[in-house]
């Protein structure tokens, strides 16, 4: 069973936000550098030296490279993932501090493991205790959980 811990997802969300912010910063820096270059080009030749124009032009080129690198680190896939994580953050009350997301298809196994973990069963039961209807037990346990979608899968999370 592959459960997800929202603390890990929160950490990933922070990483993606940093990548997004790097793109914003790189865009702002490029705009600033282009503005300086444009101003130098409009300055009369005797006031704007060739060296200053060359430096400003190189800075624009560097800023363009920085923006390209930042955008390659934060592309469409990362944008989509960040949007999904923002949605989860809004749907899960304790997203930052940790909730377990259990895949819907594994919830019956989760119910059985939970019963063992809390001592309700030992896992070595004999008749009649080995005749538990785990599908029904999982359905009843699910009443305390809500469903969320993440990357195309449905998970149950404690409400």
Residue 123, pLDDT above cutoff 80: no
- What does the pLDDT read at residue 46? 65
Confidence of residue 52 (pLDDT cuts 50, 70, 90): confident
Residue 120, pLDDT above cutoff 70: yes
Residue 69 half-sphere exposure toward CB, CA atoms < 13 A: 10
- Whole-angstrom distance, CA of residue 22 vs CA of residue 18: 6
DSSP 8-state secondary structure symbol assigned to residue 47: T
Q: Looking at the whole model, is its pTM more than 0.85?
A: no
- What does the pLDDT read at residue 25? 98
Tell me how far the alpha carbon of residue 20 is from its chain's centroid: 11
Residue 50 half-sphere exposure toward CB, CA atoms < 13 A: 0
Nearest to 114, CA basis, from 126, 124, 123: 123
pLDDT one-digit tens code per residue, 53-112: 899 999 999 999 999 999 999 999 999 999 999 999 999 989 999 999 999 999 999 999
- What does the pLDDT read at residue 101? 97
Give, in order, the Cα–Cα distances in Å from 40 to each of 31, 34, 51, 126, 153: 14, 10, 11, 87, 55
Q: What percent of the chain has pLDDT over 70?
A: 98
157 three-class SS: strand
Counting beta carbons within 10 angstroms of the beta carbon of residue 71, is it exposed (0 to 12), middle (13 to 18) or buried (19 or more)? Answer: middle
pLDDT one-digit tens code per residue, 125-157: 778 777 889 999 999 999 999 999 999 999 999
Nearest to 111, CA basis, from 154, 144, 147, 153: 144
């Amino acid at each position: 069973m592959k459960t997800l811990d929202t603390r890990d997802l929160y950490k990933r969300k922070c990483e993606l936000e940093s990548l997004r912010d790097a793109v914003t910063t790189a865009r702002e820096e490029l705009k600033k550098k282009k503005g300086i270059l444009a101003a130098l080009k409009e300055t009369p030749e005797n006031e704007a030296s060739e060296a200053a124009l060359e430096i400003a032009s190189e800075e624009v080129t560097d800023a363009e490279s920085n923006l390209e690198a930042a955008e390659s680190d934060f592309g469409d896939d990362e944008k989509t993932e960040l949007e999904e994580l923002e949605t989860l953050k809004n749907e899960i009350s304790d997203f930052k501090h940790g909730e377990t997301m259990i895949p819907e298809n594994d919830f019956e196994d989760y119910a059985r493991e939970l019963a063992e973990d809390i001592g309700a069963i030992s896992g070595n039961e004999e008749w009649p205790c080995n005749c538990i209807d785990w599908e029904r037990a999982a359905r009843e346990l699910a009443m305390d959980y809500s469903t969320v979608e993440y990357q195309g899968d449905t998970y149950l999370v404690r409400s």
